[in-house]
Chain A
Amino acid sequence: MEYFVQQLINGVTLGSIYGLIAIGYTMVYGIVGMINFAHGDVFMVGSFVALIAFLLLVSLGMTAVPLALVVVLLVAMALTALYGWTVERVAYRPLRHSFRLAPLISAIGMSIVLQNYVQIAQGARVKPLPPLIQGGFTLISSPEFSVQLSNVQIIVVLTTLVVMVIFAWLVANTRLGRDMRACEQDLKMASLLGVDTDRTISLTFVLGAALAAVAGIMYLLYYGVVDFFIGFVAGVKAFTAAVLGGIGSLPGAMLGGLLIGLIETFWSAYFSVEYKDVAAFSILIVVLIFLPTGILGRPEIEKV
Chain B
Amino acid sequence: MLYEPRAPSAAGIGLRSLRDIGGAFKSAALTALVALGLFSLLIGERTDQGPTGALVLTPRLEVLAILVAAAFVGGLVRALVLGRDTAAAGGLVPHAAREAAARIGGLAGPALLVFALATPLLFYHNRYLLDLAIQILTYVMLGWGLNIVVGLAGLLDLGYVAFYAVGAYSYALISHASGLSFWICLPVAGMLAACWGILLGFPVLRLRGDYLAIVTLAFGEIIRLVLINWQSLTGGPNGIAGIARPSFFGIPFSPGENGFANVFGLEFSPTHRVVFLFYLILALALLTNLVTVRLRRLPIGRAWEALREDEVACRSLGLNTTNVKLTAFAMGAMFAGFAGSFFATRQGFISPESFTFSESALVLAIVVLGGMGSQLGIVIAAVVMLGGFELFREFEQYRMLVFGLVMVAIMIFRPRGLVGTRVPSVFLAQRRAIAGDFVREGHG
Any B CB within 8 A of the CB of A95: yes
Q: How far is the CB of B95 from chain A (nearest CB, A)?
A: 23
Q: What residues of chain A lie closer than 8 Å to B218, measured between beta carbons?
A: 236, 240, 281-282, 284-285
- Is B48's beta carbon under 8 Å from chain A? yes
Q: List B contacts of A51 (CB < 8 A).
A: 47, 55
> CA A176 – CA B50 in complex, angstroms?
46
- Interchain CB contact under 8 A, A52 and B47: yes
Q: Is A56 touching B41 in the complex (CB atoms < 8 A)? A: yes
- A104 near B57 with CB under 8 A, answer no
A48 interfacial by beta-carbon distance below 8 Å: yes
On chain A, the residues within 8 Å of B213 by CB distance are: 35, 101, 104
B200-221 interface bits toward A, Cβ cutoff 8 Å, 1 = contact, 0 = none: 0001101111110111011101
Shortest beta-carbon distance from A63 to chain B in Å: 15
Residues of A within 8 A of B210 (CB): 34-35, 101, 104
Docked Cα-Cα span, A108 to B411, in Å, equals 11
- A84 to chain B minimum Cβ distance, whole angstroms, is 11
In the complex, whether B146 has a CB less than 8 A from a CB of chain A is no
Within 8 A of B (CB), among A103-118: 103-106, 108-118
Cβ contact within 8 Å between B47 and A127: yes
Give the one of A100, A102, A122, A275 with max B CB within 10 A.
Answer: A100
CB of B434 to closest CB in A, whole Å: 15
| In contact, B211 and A292 (Cβ under 8 angstroms) | yes
A222 to B265 alpha-carbon distance, docked (Å): 69
Task: Kindly state whether residue B242 has any CB partner on chain A within 8 Å.
Answer: no
Query: 8 Å CB contacts to A: which residues of B383-411?
Result: 397-398, 400-401, 403-408, 411
8 shortest A-B CB distances, which residue pairs? A109-B407, A112-B404, A113-B404, A281-B218, A116-B401, A109-B408, A106-B411, A116-B400
Q: Mark B398-441, 1 if CB is under 8 A from A, else 0.
A: 10110111111001100100000000000000000000000011
Choose one: B209, B221, B229, B401; the contact of A100 (CB below 8 Å): B209
Residue of A whose beta carbon sits closest to that of B155: A101
Q: Write out the residue numbers on chain B whose beta carbons fall within 8 Å of the beta carbon of A48.
A: 41-42
Asked if B37 is at the interface (CB within 8 A of a chain A CB), the reply is yes
| Chain A contacts with B in 84-101, Cβ cutoff 8 A | 86, 90-91, 94-95, 98-101
Q: B42 near A49 (CB under 8 angstroms)?
A: yes
12 sample A-B contacts, Cβ–Cβ < 8 Å, listed by A number: A52-B41, A82-B37, A91-B411, A94-B412, A95-B412, A99-B415, A108-B158, A109-B411, A112-B403, A115-B400, A122-B46, A123-B48
Q: How far is the CB of A22 from chain B (nearest CB, A)?
A: 13
Q: Is A1 an interface residue (CB 8 A)?
A: no
Residues of chain B within 8 A (CB-CB) of A155 are: none
- Is A83's CB within 8 Å of the partner chain B? yes
A113 touches B401 (CB 8 A): yes
Q: Mark B226-270, 1 if CB is under 8 A from A, else 0.
A: 100100000000000000000000000000000000000000000
A86 to chain B, nearest CB (A): 6
Instruction: Report how many A-B pairs have Cβ atoms within 8 Å.
Output: 182
Residues of B within 8 A of A302 (CB): 312, 443
Residues of A within 8 A of B37 (CB): 78-79, 82
**A108–B404 CA distance with the chains assembled, in angstroms:** 8
Interface centre among A82, A95, A112 (most CB of B within 10 A): A112
Count of B residues near A, CB < 8 Å?
64
Q: Say if the beta carbon of A129 comes within 8 Å of chain B.
A: yes
User: A288: CB under 8 A from chain B?
Assistant: yes
17 further A-B pairs in the complex, CB-CB below 8 A; given A104-B156, A117-B401, A127-B47: A51-B55, A52-B42, A55-B56, A79-B41, A99-B440, A100-B444, A112-B401, A113-B408, A116-B404, A118-B42, A121-B46, A122-B47, A130-B54, A240-B218, A278-B226, A285-B219, A288-B214
Question: Does B53 make an interface contact (CB < 8 A)?
Answer: yes
Cβ contacts under 8 Å, A106 to chain B: 407-408, 411-412
Q: Which residue of chain B has its CB nearest to the CB of A226?
A: B47
B364 within 8 A of A: yes
Please measure, in the bound complex, the distance between the C-alpha atom of A288 and the C-alpha atom of B205, giving whole angstroms: 11
A304 at the interface (CB under 8 A from B): yes
Chain B, Cβ-Cβ closest to A91: B408
Whether B41 pairs with A277 at a CB distance below 8 angstroms is: no
